[in-house]
Structure 1
Amino acid sequence: MKKMIAIILMAVMLMSVMLLSACGGGDTATEPEEKPESTGADDSKPAVDEGAPVEIRVAWWGDTKRHELYNQICDAFEAKNPNIKLTREPVSWTDYWDKLTVQSASGGAPDFMGMHPQFASDYVRRGVLEPLDAYVKDGTIDLSNFSQAAIDSGTVNGINYMISMGLTTNTVLVNKSMLEDLGVQVPDFNWTWDDLKAIGSEARAVLDAKGKKDSWLREDASGAYQIFRYWARQNGRDLYTADGSIAYTKEDAASWFAMWKDLRDSGVVPDSATTTEYSKATLEDSLIARGKTAMVSIPPNQYKLYSAALPEAELIMVRNPSKPDGKVGEFVEGAHFAISSKTTPEKKLAAAKLINFWVNTEDSIKLFRLDQGVPANTKMVEFLTPLLDEQDKAIVDYVSKTIEIATPTTFPPSGASEVDSLFQQIAEKVRFDQLTPEDAGAQLVSEAQAILDSNKK
């Protein structure tokens, strides 16, 4: 079995090479073999006293379990680097980006931070992210065991600004036990949006009969731009074109909002007030953790976190619903680490060392495991294989299945974070019947394109 899991993990890495390249007690780091060539950024960096005491701010998003895990990794790093103190700033996903927007506007972004491709171009344009080529060139950050595709996933305009945390996709987590208790059909791995409506209607009838008016099939994902991306891709388009324009049509957006309105009106997903109430809930307080829903869209690397929150339930992972005659919606995803350009040379170097420790050492990977997806470092994949438990294997199995069918996507342009916020605002107005789906679709495309155009100037 270990050999089979190793093969699957390596297959995931090899498949990611093809997909991403189509788009624009060992406690020491793995030995460099061959340094990537300069990408055009300034490959020099100021000389600093590497042994001098330094304190850096370290920020990430997540829930309580992730905070505990990342604190362990930070503790392990401090033990190996006693001159570097890490001040930790963990928050939820939504609060993270709200906070980073404010911090970066005043030049106060964390020294070491999590970054997502959806927002990277914006932060590069604002001068928030530090080019990392100099740290790669001198070996502070070792990418010799990263595929070129994994390296490229962190580049903007040919310059390396980010280092991959892991390679992943997206999934719908299903509480199989809850559906079976209700006597409701459990979705297949390959299910459709029509199946979602049918299963949801069936669940609604049973829940009503049991007097559970405050329970639903799943959360309302109408405001999730990255899930809408699957819808647009299934329609043969995407969020953005290669030249940084909106790729989807007003009809794509209108039909998306109309579908979720229908699901709300029929009680398949929660009412608007409930969605707002739970919009910033932690995993432990989420609708699915409270037993009020049986499904939620998540990155598969969070499977273990939800399993811990629902220890008595059997949880499975299925694809996002598809369209019978539509295109493939899946694409390779993954978060990254980055460094603030506004901090001091000493703090930049310390942050670079932390990145290298996090993605390239056994001391970190034995803790980090699959938290952000399959490691980008192939040597760490080999190290990790014997440590996998059954839940880890389920994650690897799901990612391997979806990467096999995934197709290339485009990198979000400058202004993408503003478009994401606009999408959420418009979706909320539709939820509260302040906009019709048709008007929302037209407004989204018009205003989103205006945002992108303004960011090209």
Structure 2
Amino acid sequence: MFWGPSFYQEFTAEMVDAFTAAVPEVDVSLQPSEWDGYWDKLATQVAGGAPPDVINMDGKYIAEYSGRDVLADLESLPSLDLSALDPSDLDAGRVDGVLTGLSTGSNAWVIVANPELFDEAGVELPDDTTWTWEDFTEIAQRISDSGVATGVTGGASYADLTIFLRQKGEDLWAPDGMGCTAESLAQWYQLYLDLQESGATLSADAAVEDSAVALEQQAFSTGRSAMSWTWTNQLQSLRDALGSQDVVMLRPPSFAGHADENGLFKKATMYWSIAAASQNTEQAAKLVNFLVNDPDAQAIQLLNRGVPSSQDAIEAMGDALTDTDHDVVDFLEAITPELAGAPAIQPMGTADSQNTFTRLLSDVRFETATPAEAAEQTITEVNGMVTA
């Protein structure tokens, strides 16, 4: 069982066809779904005692399903070869030390910049290995002040919040709820308020409107802002929307001005898991092993489920990789030595927490709550979501 739009369903079916051609004694029944409705469908099957053997899992839910003993320990399955995978990819799928999800590949949450707008504004692109939050806000304000475009849009995600907190030696999550202090969370809310009040970003009304439209219609994608935040796997979509291949990825700024202290992390795009209650564990392990390790499977999937840590898998994609694909692979390779480990796993019950962050940041932007008030309310609400 897996989620994704129609083209995901098509290439996943091709991967499974390649598997059944190689391992004809195993029959595979596909249960594809769009993201909307996937988790309700999965929950119904699990509650009914008939989960799919192989489950497409997400970071928002892996602790919840692991904590309910729904997912098998993948390291206990001899048919699953984990030797080609980077330890950081394996760690991303561990819950309480048990590997219950196998990363399909990684993405990183980065700042994208439009060099053409920087040039028109007379502002140089920053050195992303040394720039600070002060540099970031100054650059954004200078671009806005030039009248060429808005300095920066987007962000306001759990991902840049995680990065911000990791720079302070904290984390977004702890086993019993949020892992940060209210003071640090308030500083993140204040950052967005300061950008707004300086004119470096959109007004509150415009920011809400921009976040509600499709990626291709947003301010950065239409050349109305010079910087934004995005996942690395969206680079091609942004370049296509702008009609320019010059869009570049930048590491996040930091307090210290050092790349190895910027809190950046590689996120598992999604996971393959196996049901602990499966009656076909060995066959399921063979399928997952094929999806993750087989060159034929990688040549079909390409980077649609993230950049795999296995160099053999990347090489198997060959000439099918675009220039943008190579840019993303090279970027992730460059940042890997700088990373300080995976963020804490999101605890059970908090899958909807992003809605809380978004709503309370909106309250800050519209000045119906101070950053400190929003931070306290966020921690109260999100901690109240946690289930044992």
Q: Above 0.5 in TM-score? A: yes
Q: How far does the alpha carbon of each residue in 1:240-279 deviate from its partner, in whole angstroms, 9 at most, with x for none?
A: 34x5453321111111111101212333222333333343
| Distance in 1 of aligned mates of 2:216 and 2:46 | 30
| Distance in 1 of aligned mates of 2:139 and 2:88 | 39
Match for residue 267 of structure 1?
A: 199
Q: How far does the alpha carbon of each residue in 1:272-329 deviate from its partner, in whole angstroms, 9 at most, with x for none?
A: 3333334354333333222222222222233233333333241111111211378431
Shift of the 422–297 alpha-carbon distance from structure 1 to 2, 3 Å rule, reads same
8 Å contact kept, 1:331–1:406: yes
Q: Is residue 2:64 matched to residue 1:122?
A: yes
Question: % of aligned pairs identical?
Answer: 23
Match for residue 257 of structure 1?
A: 189
What is the identity, as a one-letter code, of the residue corresponding to 2:144?
R
Shift of the 218–343 alpha-carbon distance from structure 1 to 2, 3 Å rule, reads farther
Match for residue 434 of structure 1?
A: 368
Over aligned residues, Cα RMSD in angstroms?
3.4
| Distance in 2 of aligned mates of 1:252 and 1:179 | 31
| Distance in 2 of aligned mates of 1:113 and 1:178 | 44
8 Å contact kept, 1:121–1:416: no
Shift of the 250–158 alpha-carbon distance from structure 1 to 2, 3 Å rule, reads closer
Tell me the CA shift for residue 197 of structure 1.
1.8
Match for residue 74 of structure 2?
A: 133
| Distance in 2 of aligned mates of 1:113 and 1:137 | 16
* Other structure's SS at 1:435 match: coil
Give matches, 1:52-63, under 5 Å.
57-60=1-4
Tell me the CA shift for residue 342 of structure 1.
10
Q: Is residue 2:165 matched to residue 1:226?
A: no
Match for residue 424 of structure 1?
A: 358
What is the identity, as a one-letter code, of the residue corresponding to 1:357?
F
Shift of the 449–230 alpha-carbon distance from structure 1 to 2, 3 Å rule, reads same
Shift of the 118–88 alpha-carbon distance from structure 1 to 2, 3 Å rule, reads closer
* Other structure's SS at 2:32 match: strand
5+ long unaligned stretches in structure 2? 22-26
* 1:414 aligned to which of 329, 344, 348: 348
Which one is further off, 257-266 or 283-292? Answer: 283-292
What is the identity, as a one-letter code, of the residue corresponding to 1:303?
L
* Other structure's SS at 2:229 match: strand
What is the identity, as a one-letter code, of the residue corresponding to 1:412?
Q
What is the identity, as a one-letter code, of the residue corresponding to 2:90?
I
| Distance in 1 of aligned mates of 2:104 and 2:325 | 16
Shift of the 311–374 alpha-carbon distance from structure 1 to 2, 3 Å rule, reads same
Shift of the 204–379 alpha-carbon distance from structure 1 to 2, 3 Å rule, reads closer
Give matches, 1:79-158, under 5 Å.
80-81=19-20, 84=28, 86-91=30-35, 96=36, 99-107=37-45, 111=52, 114-126=56-68, 129-131=70-72, 133=74, 137-139=77-79, 141-158=80-97
5+ long unaligned stretches in structure 1? 1-56, 62-66
Q: How far does the alpha carbon of each residue in 1:394-448 deviate from its partner, in whole angstroms, 9 at most, with x for none?
A: 2233212322221124333324424444323322322333211111112223333
Give matches, 1:328-407, under 5 Å.
328-339=262-273, 341=275, 345=279, 355-384=288-317, 388-407=321-340
Which one is further off, 417-426 or 259-268? Answer: 417-426
Number of residue pairs matched by the alignment: 375
Shift of the 216–386 alpha-carbon distance from structure 1 to 2, 3 Å rule, reads same
8 Å contact kept, 1:165–1:359: yes
Shift of the 328–344 alpha-carbon distance from structure 1 to 2, 3 Å rule, reads closer
Give matches, 1:437-456, under 5 Å.
437-452=371-386, 455-456=387-388
Tell me the CA shift for residue 132 of structure 1.
5.4
Shift of the 152–330 alpha-carbon distance from structure 1 to 2, 3 Å rule, reads closer
8 Å contact kept, 2:20–2:28: yes
| Distance in 2 of aligned mates of 1:393 and 1:79 | 25
| Distance in 2 of aligned mates of 1:386 and 1:145 | 22
